[in-house]
């Protein structure tokens, strides 16, 4: 779904060209300020879903050059399409998670999240055992010498990859959508940065680049995906993508790999023999804020 050739009737093409021309003229002033060819291409780039394969290839190339120049590292930016017959789901074992935040920091590096102000796609909440899953009494900023802390358990929250995502509905320009393999993605080049989606998301899963992106050259991950971990822009929104750059290559998300206690499970919901299916069928799972009908594909369960 993510890479689709748009078929246009000749008529429509003309109109589109015309409109594009209109957009060009109306923005000459803006362009005058940064008149390089690259800047122009970037400015005029249409939303990802209406780009043709050729256009996508060009965009990827442009991004690779840009990133290399900016960060001094050779990048690959792919736009790999969904693997057919896949629909991803995730399960997290609450009884195992010890709140060590290894996943948080591994995610930051894997996904090139900005360091200033620090961005964490995964937020680990510390909760009181007596209260159960209770956000109001949870603590995101716990800081103990040792975890788990007595009387507490941990609930990591990241994008719940809703099947009925309110963030997608809220976006005024369609810069965020759910792909065929069940990942809610953002086109960082189409996002205008209005933050409607952030107000709409019930899980605090969307994060904003308040300032210029700060990355440490030695920690950059240069293997990227257009809809995933490529370096982002000031003033655009981003979020967990199940590590789209990995999972579309048949690998696990980084957080699944690094969790020291194996609390994180991931797989294809359409595959009957997958571990995720086993968990759904044999464990008792819960989803967060089910009353909102967001229908997350991120499940929590008690493994023991």
Partner 1 sequence: MKFIRFLKESFQIVIRGSKRYYLWLAFLFILILWGGSGYILQLKQGLLVTNMRDSVSWGFYIGNFTFLVGVAAAAIMLVIPAYIYNWKPLKEVVIFGELLAISAVIMCILFVIVDVGNPLRLWHMVPLIGKLNIPASLLGWDSLVLSLYFLLNVVVVSYLLNTLFYKREINNSKLTPLILLSIPIAIGIHTVTAFLYNGFAGRPYWNSALLAPKFLASAFCSGPAVLIILFQILKKTTTFEIKQEAIWKIAELMAYAMFINLFFFGAEVFKEVYSNTEHLVHLKYLFIGVGENRDIVMYGWLSLIISVIAFLLFLIPATRKNVVTLNIGAILIWMGVYIEKGIALLTPGFTPDTLGQIYIYRPSAIEVKVSVAIFAIGFLIFTMMTKIAIAIIFEDFNIDSLRRKKALPAES
**Binding-site ranges for ligand SF4 (CB under 6 A):** 159-162, 165-167, 170-171, 173, 175-176, 184, 186, 191-197, 201, 203, 205-206, 237, 239, 294
Q: What's the min distance (Å) between Cβ of 292 and partner 1? A: 5
Pick from 8, 57, 115, 173 the residue near partner 1 by CB under 8 A. 173
The full length of the chain comes to 304
- Choosing among ligand SF4, partner 1, none, which partner's interface includes residue 135 (Cβ < 5 to 8 Å by kind)? partner 1
Question: How far is it, in rounded angstroms, from Cα 180 to Cα 210?
Answer: 30
Could you tell me the smallest distance in angstroms from the CB atom of residue 170 to ligand SF4?
A: 5
- Going by C-alpha positions, the residue among 123, 99, 289 that lies closest to residue 207 is 123
Distance CA 17, CA 32 (A): 21
Q: Which of 22, 153, 18 is nearest to 99 (CA)?
A: 153
Tell whether residue 43 is a contact of partner 1 (CB under 8 A).
yes
Residue 60 interacts with, from partner 1, ligand SF4, none (CB under 5-8 Å by kind): none
Which partner, partner 1, ligand SF4, none, binds residue 280 by CB below 5 to 8 Å per kind?
A: none
3-class secondary structure, 304: coil
Q: Where are any strands of DSSP class E within the chain?
A: 76-78, 88-93, 123-128, 152-157, 176-178, 184-186, 207-208, 223-225, 237-238, 264-268, 285-286, 298-301
47 binds, among ligand SF4, partner 1, none (CB under 5 to 8 A by kind): partner 1
Q: What are the structure tokens assigned to 142, written together?
A: 């716990």
Q: Which does 160 bind (CB under 5 to 8 A by kind): partner 1, ligand SF4, none?
A: ligand SF4
Instruction: Return the number of the residue (67 or 203) whose C-beta is nearest ligand SF4.
Output: 203
Compute the distance between CA of residue 238 and CA of residue 168 in angstroms, rounded to an integer: 13
Instruction: Please report which residue ranges of 27-126 form alpha helices under DSSP H.
Output: 28-33, 37-44, 53-71, 102-110
Reference 48, options 114, 105, 1; nearest CA is 1
Q: Binding partner of residue 12 among partner 1, ligand SF4, none, CB under 5 to 8 Å per kind?
A: none
Size of the site for partner 1 (CB under 8 A): 60
| Residues of this chain, 130-169, that bind partner 1 according to CB under 8 A | 134-138, 140-141, 157, 166, 168-169
Residues near partner 1 (CB under 8 A): 19-20, 22-23, 26-27, 30, 43, 46-47, 50, 117, 119, 123, 125, 134-138, 140-141, 157, 166, 168-175, 190-196, 198-204, 206-212, 233-236, 289, 292-293
């Amino acid at each position: 779904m993510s890479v689709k050739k748009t078929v246009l009737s000749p008529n429509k093409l003309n109109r589109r060209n015309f409109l594009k021309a209109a957009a060009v003229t109306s923005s000459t002033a803006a362009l005058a300020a940064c008149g390089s060819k690259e800047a122009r291409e970037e400015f005029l780039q249409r939303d990802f879903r209406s780009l043709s394969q050729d256009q996508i290839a060009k965009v990827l190339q442009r991004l690779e050059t840009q990133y290399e120049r900016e960060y001094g590292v050779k990048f690959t930016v792919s736009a790999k399409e969904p693997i057919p017959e896949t629909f991803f789901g995730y399960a997290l074992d609450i009884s195992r998670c010890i709140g060590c935040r290894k996943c948080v920091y591994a995610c930051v590096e894997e996904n090139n999240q900005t360091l200033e102000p620090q961005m964490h796609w995964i937020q680990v909440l510390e909760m009181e055992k007596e209260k159960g899953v209770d956000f109001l009494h949870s603590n995101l900023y716990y800081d103990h010498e040792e975890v788990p802390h007595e009387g507490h358990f941990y609930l990591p929250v990241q994008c719940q990859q809703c099947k009925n995502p309110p963030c997608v509905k809220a976006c005024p320009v369609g810069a965020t959508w759910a792909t065929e393999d069940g990942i809610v993605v953002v086109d960082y080049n189409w996002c205008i940065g209005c933050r409607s989606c952030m107000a709409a998301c019930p899980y605090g899963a969307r994060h904003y680049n308040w300032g210029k992106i700060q990355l440490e050259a030695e920690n950059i991950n240069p293997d990227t995906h257009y809809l995933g971990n490529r370096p982002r822009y000031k003033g655009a929104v981003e979020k967990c993508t199940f590590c789209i750059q990995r999972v579309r290559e048949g690998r696990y998300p980084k957080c699944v790999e690094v969790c020291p206690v194996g609390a994180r499970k991931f797989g294809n919901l359409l595959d009957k023999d997958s571990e995720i299916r086993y968990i759904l069928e044999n464990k008792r799972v819960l989803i967060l804020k089910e009353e909102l009908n967001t229908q997350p594909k991120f499940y929590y369960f008690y493994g023991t």
